[in-house]
Amino acid sequence: MSDFVIAPPLQPAVPVLGGGLFPVRRIYCVGRNYAEHAREMGHDPQAEPPFFFSKPADALVIDGGDTPYPAETQNFHHEIELVAAIGQGGQNIAVEDALAHVWGYAVGLDMTRRDLQAWAKKAQKPWEVAKGFDHSAPIGIMVPAAMVALPLTQRIALRVNGALRQEAKLSDMTWDLAHVIAELSRFFALFPGDLIFTGTPAGVAAVVAGDHLVGEIDGIGTVETRIV
Number of residue whose CB is nearest Mn ion = 110
Task: For the CB of residue 79, give the shortest distance to Mn ion in the complex, in Å.
Answer: 4
Task: For the CB of residue 217, give the shortest distance to Mn ion in the complex, in Å.
Answer: 15
Residues that bind Mn ion (CB under 5 A): 79, 110, 200
Nearer to Mn ion, 110 or 176 (CB): 110
Nearer to Mn ion, 97 or 115 (CB): 115
Task: For the CB of residue 110, give the shortest distance to Mn ion in the complex, in Å.
Answer: 3
Q: Where are the beta strands (DSSP E) in the chain?
A: 13-15, 21-23, 27-31, 51-55, 60-62, 66-67, 76-77, 80-86, 102-109, 112-113, 137-139, 143-144, 155-160, 163-169, 195-197, 212-217, 221-227
Nearer to Mn ion, 28 or 103 (CB): 28
Task: For the CB of residue 3, give the shortest distance to Mn ion in the complex, in Å.
Answer: 38
Distance of CA 176 to the CA centre of its chain: 14
CA distances from 87 to 23, 50, 111, 180, 210 (A): 10, 22, 25, 16, 36
Nearer to Mn ion, 104 or 108 (CB): 108
